[in-house]
């Protein structure tokens, strides 16, 4: 039996990252930060974890720029 694509093992938490994102109405960059932070080190090996951390940083930088642009 194949894994349920809506509930992958690397997102098994008391509340799924998707449910957290939707319930808190996070915008795109915020949602991706939550997604990558919740799976870093749980999906793939060391290199994948490092890549997820790089994605978190990239989305955080975009988010900061959007806040700075509001001024």
Q: How far apart are alpha carbons 18 and 42 in whole angstroms?
A: 16
Per-residue model confidence (pLDDT) at position 16: 86
Strands (E), 4-64: none
pLDDT of residue 61: 98
Mean pLDDT to the nearest integer, 14-35: 93
* Three-class DSSP category at 63: helix
Please say whether the dihedral angle defined by the alpha carbons of residues 1, 15, 30 and 61, taken in this order, is positive or negative: negative
pTM: 0.79
Rounded mean pLDDT, 21-29:
97
């Amino acid at each position: 039996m194949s894994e349920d694509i809506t509930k992958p093992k690397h997102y098994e938490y008391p509340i799924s990252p998707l449910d957290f994102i939707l319930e808190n109405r996070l915008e795109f960059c915020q949602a991706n930060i939550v997604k990558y932070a919740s799976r870093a080190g749980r999906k793939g090996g060391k290199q994948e974890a490092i890549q997820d951390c790089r994605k978190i940083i990239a989305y955080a930088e975009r988010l900061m720029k959007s806040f700075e642009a509001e001024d």
